[in-house]
Amino acid sequence: MGTLSVNQSKLQKRLRRLAGEAVTDFNMIEDGDKVMVCLSGGKDSYTMLDVLLHLQKVAPIKFEIVAVNMDQKQPGFPEHVLPEYLKSIGVDYHIVEKDTYSVVMEKIPEGKTTCSLCSRLRRGTLYTFADEIGATKMALGHHRDDILETFFLNMFYGGTLKAMPPKLRADDGRNVVIRPLAYCSEKDIEAYSELKGFPIIPCNLCGSQENLQRKVVKEMLLDWERKTPGRTEIMFRALQNVMPSQLADRNLFDFTNLRIDENATPRFVDVMNL
């Protein structure tokens, strides 16, 4: 890539700055960490790797990066693309071969969305591999829009208020997942991916339907952003500003023992005696 224009330079700096802020805010990477960067071949994971490689150069701490891709044996998967790219930029990598495609095709009826089972099988395999190679952190390429979409999906369809946290310890305690792009917008990532000319591998090789619920939520958020620019950023900020006493979760706030404070200062002044 040649010299960047002013706007292109601003885009690159913005992504690097936001990723750096997220890494710092949530203490995602520490000195001596071995970070396993999970690559799917999509725009998000390529951008994440690019940003982390820059952070590795400028950060005041030392940490290792190893890229990992999982070949799920989908028909037509271009096996050569990621190895060639990673060799060209000098990044250590592993290709994990696991035929989850056959399992998904066997378990999911034709015409039904395969994404959920596919992602669970992929995640379990990657968790295990991270443990095998001694990775202390697993980096995933989810961005701000992914996190918000997941929040609304869980609220609308799951009846829970939860999203994708920027940093998460797995249930078994053996893996810590980080999302360095948590503050970055999908729009910026898409523009940066086009700018860098990453060799994108499509996510439709399995021929499955798109996750229709996520598509509906994505369109809803895009429509809100078109009508009220800046709303996406405000909603994401709300995820960082939770007030349990203003919700209704009895496990997060003790509503049962909530009573008046007899020692509190009276709210109203007796104006007749002023």
Residue 166: the pLDDT is 97
Residue 69: the pLDDT is 93
Residue 120: the pLDDT is 74
Residue 112: the pLDDT is 61
Eight-class DSSP state of 226 = H
Residue 87: the pLDDT is 96
**Where on the phi/psi map is residue 248: left (φ > 0), alpha (ψ -120 to 50), or beta?**
alpha
Angstrom CA distances, 174 to 62, 117, 127, 145, 169, stand at 22, 22, 8, 27, 8
- Reduced to 3 states (helix: H, G, I; strand: E, B; else coil), residue 66 is strand
Eight-class DSSP state of 274 = -
Domain ranges (residues) in the chain: 6-207
What are the beta bridge partners of residue 97? Answer: 71
**What are the tokens at 157?**
């369809």
Residue 171: the pLDDT is 81
Q: H helices of the chain, where?
A: 6-25, 43-58, 81-89, 100-107, 115-132, 144-153, 186-196, 212-227, 231-239
Q: What angle do CA 100, 125, 117 make, to 5 degrees?
A: 50
137 near 64, Cβ under 8 Å? no
pLDDT digits (tens, 9 = 90+) for 202-237: 876 454 555 678 889 999 999 999 999 999 999 999
CATH number for the domain whose boundaries are 6-207: 3.40.50.620
Residue 173: the pLDDT is 84
Q: Which residues in the chain come in under a pLDDT of 70?
A: 1-2, 100, 102-118, 204-211, 268-274
Residues of each annotated binding site? 115, 118, 206
Residues of each annotated binding site for [4Fe-4S] cluster? 115, 118, 206
Residue 71: the pLDDT is 82
Residue 123: the pLDDT is 80
pTM of the model as a whole? 0.88
pLDDT digits (tens, 9 = 90+) for 14-32: 999 999 999 999 999 999 9
Eight-class DSSP state of 150 = H
